[in-house]
Chains A and B, each alone.
Chain A
Amino acid sequence: MHKEPLIRVAKRDGMPLYQNILIRAVAIVLAMLLVVLFVHFTAGISAGTTISYMWEGVFGNSIYLRDTVFYTAKLLCIAVALAPAFKMRFWNCGAEGQVLAGGLATAVVMVYCGNLPAPLLYLVMFISALALAAIWGILPAVFKAKMGVNETLFTLMMNYVAIKLVDFFYNKWKGSASSLGKLNKGTKAGYLPDLFGSENSWLLLAVVILTIAVYFYLSKTKHGYEIAVVGESQRTAEYAGINVKTVTIRTMMISGIICGICGFMTVAGHDHSISSSTTAGGYGFTAIIVAWLAKFNTGFMVLISLFVIFLERGTSHIADKCSGFDASASKIVIGLVLFFVIGSEFFINYKINLRSKHDKEVA
Chain B
Amino acid sequence: MKKIVSAFFAAMLAVSMLVGCGSGNAGAGAGTESGNTAEATDLKIGVILVGDETETYTKAHIDGINEAADSLGIPRDNIQWKERVEESEDCYDAAKALIADGCTLVISNSYGHQDFMAEAAEEFSDVNFVAMTGDYAAISGLDNFYNAFTNVYESRYVSGVVAGMKVAELDAAGEIPAEGYDENGNVKIGYVGAYPYAEVVSGYTAFYLGIQSVFPNVVMDVQYTNSWFDIEGEAAAADVLIKRGCVVIGQHADSTGAPDTVEKAWQNGQVVYSVGYNMSMLDVAPDAALTSATNNWVAYYKELFAAVLNGTEIPQDWARGYADDAVSITELGPNVAEGTAEKVAEVESAIKDGSLHVFDTSKFTVGGAAVTDETAMVDLSYMDYSTMTAVYEGDTVSALKTDENGVTYFDESVLRAAPYFQLRIDGITELNAN
CB distance from A331 to the nearest CB of B (A): 10
Q: Among the listed A184, A270, A324, A336, which residue makes an inter-chain contact with B22, where contact means beta carbons less than 8 Å apart?
A: A324
CB distance from B45 to the nearest CB of A (A): 13
Is residue A60 within 8 Å, beta carbon to beta carbon, of the partner chain?
Answer: yes
**Known contacts being A320-B80, A326-B21, is A114 close to B387, with CB within 8 Å?**
yes
Is residue B173 within 8 Å, beta carbon to beta carbon, of the partner chain?
Answer: no
A64 to B101, CA, bound (A): 10
Is residue A356 within 8 Å, beta carbon to beta carbon, of the partner chain?
Answer: no
A271 to B27, CA, bound (A): 31
Q: Which residues of the other chain, A, contact B14 by a CB distance below 8 angstroms?
A: 38, 332, 335-336
> Do B87 and A181 have beta carbons less than 8 Å apart?
yes
Q: Which residues of the other chain, A, contact B115 by a CB distance below 8 angstroms?
A: 181-182, 185, 273
Is residue A17 within 8 Å, beta carbon to beta carbon, of the partner chain?
Answer: no
> Do A177 and B111 have beta carbons less than 8 Å apart?
yes
A325 to B386, CA, bound (A): 38
> Do B100 and A64 have beta carbons less than 8 Å apart?
yes
> Do A343 and B7 have beta carbons less than 8 Å apart?
yes
Q: Which residues of the other chain, A, contact B15 by a CB distance below 8 angstroms?
A: 38, 41-42
Is residue B397 within 8 Å, beta carbon to beta carbon, of the partner chain?
Answer: no
Is residue A19 within 8 Å, beta carbon to beta carbon, of the partner chain?
Answer: no
> Do A336 and B52 have beta carbons less than 8 Å apart?
no
CB distance from A320 to the nearest CB of B (A): 6
**Known contacts being A67-B93, A343-B7, is A173 close to B390, with CB within 8 Å?**
no
CB distance from B399 to the nearest CB of A (A): 17
CB distance from B295 to the nearest CB of A (A): 17
> Do B83 and A178 have beta carbons less than 8 Å apart?
no
Which residues of A148-185 are within 8 A (CB) of B?
172-185
CB distance from A335 to the nearest CB of B (A): 8
Per-residue contact bits, chain B 250-282, to A (CB 8 Å; 1 contact, 0 not): 000000000000000000000000000000000
Q: Which residues of the other chain, B, contact A43 by a CB distance below 8 angstroms?
A: 22
> Do B89 and A273 have beta carbons less than 8 Å apart?
yes
Is residue B182 within 8 Å, beta carbon to beta carbon, of the partner chain?
Answer: no
> Do B88 and A273 have beta carbons less than 8 Å apart?
yes
Is residue B391 within 8 Å, beta carbon to beta carbon, of the partner chain?
Answer: yes
> Do A332 and B18 have beta carbons less than 8 Å apart?
yes
> Do A63 and B89 have beta carbons less than 8 Å apart?
no
Using CB atoms, name the residue of chain A closest to B90: A278
CB distance from B182 to the nearest CB of A (A): 30
A272 to B116, CA, bound (A): 10
CB distance from A169 to the nearest CB of B (A): 8
Q: Among the listed A183, A186, A339, A340, which residue makes an inter-chain contact with B390, where contact means beta carbons less than 8 Å apart?
A: A186
Q: Which residues of the other chain, B, contact A322 by a CB distance below 8 angstroms?
A: 25, 28-29
A43 to B19, CA, bound (A): 10
Most chain B CB atoms below 10 A, which of A37, A180, A182, A272: A182
> Do B18 and A324 have beta carbons less than 8 Å apart?
yes
> Do A323 and B27 have beta carbons less than 8 Å apart?
yes
Q: Which residues of the other chain, A, contact B111 by a CB distance below 8 angstroms?
A: 177-179
Q: Which residues of the other chain, B, contact A277 by a CB distance below 8 angstroms?
A: 86, 88
Q: Among the listed B3, B25, B197, which residue makes an inter-chain contact with A324, where contact means beta carbons less than 8 Å apart?
A: B25
Q: Which residues of the other chain, B, contact A180 by a CB distance below 8 angstroms?
A: 87, 112, 386
Using CB atoms, name the residue of chain B closest to A173: B386
> Do A278 and B391 have beta carbons less than 8 Å apart?
no
CB distance from A284 to the nearest CB of B (A): 16
Q: Among the listed B26, B119, B385, which residue makes an inter-chain contact with A173, where contact means beta carbons less than 8 Å apart?
A: B385
Q: How many residues of B contact A (CB 8 A)?
A: 58
**Known contacts being A271-B88, A323-B29, is A183 close to B386, with CB within 8 Å?**
yes
Using CB atoms, name the residue of chain B closest to A70: B93
Using CB atoms, name the residue of chain B closest to A267: B89
> Do A181 and B116 have beta carbons less than 8 Å apart?
yes
Which residues of A298-351 are within 8 A (CB) of B?
319-320, 322-329, 332, 335-336, 339-340, 343, 346
Q: Which residues of the other chain, B, contact A272 by a CB distance below 8 angstroms?
A: 89
Q: Which residues of the other chain, A, contact B389 by a CB distance below 8 angstroms?
A: 186-187
Using CB atoms, name the residue of chain A closest to B386: A173
Q: Which residues of the other chain, B, contact A270 by a CB distance below 8 angstroms?
A: 89
Is residue B369 within 8 Å, beta carbon to beta carbon, of the partner chain?
Answer: no
> Do A346 and B384 have beta carbons less than 8 Å apart?
no
CB distance from B391 to the nearest CB of A (A): 4
> Do A332 and B3 have beta carbons less than 8 Å apart?
no
Is residue B81 within 8 Å, beta carbon to beta carbon, of the partner chain?
Answer: yes
Per-residue contact bits, chain B 188-220, to A (CB 8 Å; 1 contact, 0 not): 000000010111000000000000000000000
Q: Which residues of the other chain, B, contact A329 by a CB distance below 8 angstroms?
A: 18, 21-22
Is residue B30 within 8 Å, beta carbon to beta carbon, of the partner chain?
Answer: yes
> Do B390 and A178 have beta carbons less than 8 Å apart?
no
A176 to B228, CA, bound (A): 15
CB distance from B59 to the nearest CB of A (A): 14
> Do A64 and B89 have beta carbons less than 8 Å apart?
no
Q: Which residues of the other chain, B, contact A179 by a CB distance below 8 angstroms?
A: 87, 111-112
A111 to B389, CA, bound (A): 11
Which residues of B84-125 are within 8 A (CB) of A?
84, 86-90, 93, 96-97, 99-101, 111-112, 114-116, 119
A190 to B309, CA, bound (A): 40
Q: Among the listed A63, A325, A326, which residue makes an inter-chain contact with B97, where contact means beta carbons less than 8 Å apart?
A: A63
Which residues of A31-76 are within 8 A (CB) of B?
34, 37-38, 41-43, 60-64, 67
A206 to B97, CA, bound (A): 25
A114 to B391, CA, bound (A): 14
Is residue B23 within 8 Å, beta carbon to beta carbon, of the partner chain?
Answer: yes
Return 18 A-B CB contacts under 8 Å, by A number. A42-B18, A62-B100, A63-B100, A175-B386, A175-B388, A176-B198, A177-B383, A178-B111, A178-B199, A181-B116, A185-B391, A319-B25, A325-B22, A326-B21, A326-B84, A332-B14, A336-B11, A339-B10
Q: Which residues of A contact B (CB under 8 A)?
A: 7, 34, 37-38, 41-43, 60-64, 67, 111-112, 114, 172-187, 270-273, 275, 277-278, 319-320, 322-329, 332, 335-336, 339-340, 343, 346
8 new A-B contacts, CB < 8 A, other than A41-B15, A322-B25, are: A177-B385, A181-B114, A184-B386, A185-B391, A278-B86, A278-B89, A320-B80, A324-B18
Which 6 residue pairs spanning A and B have beta carbons closest together?
A175-B385, A179-B112, A181-B115, A173-B386, A323-B25, A186-B391
Q: Which residues of B contact A (CB under 8 A)?
A: 1, 3, 7, 10-11, 14-15, 17-19, 21-30, 52, 80-84, 86-90, 93, 96-97, 99-101, 111-112, 114-116, 119, 195, 197-199, 228, 383-392
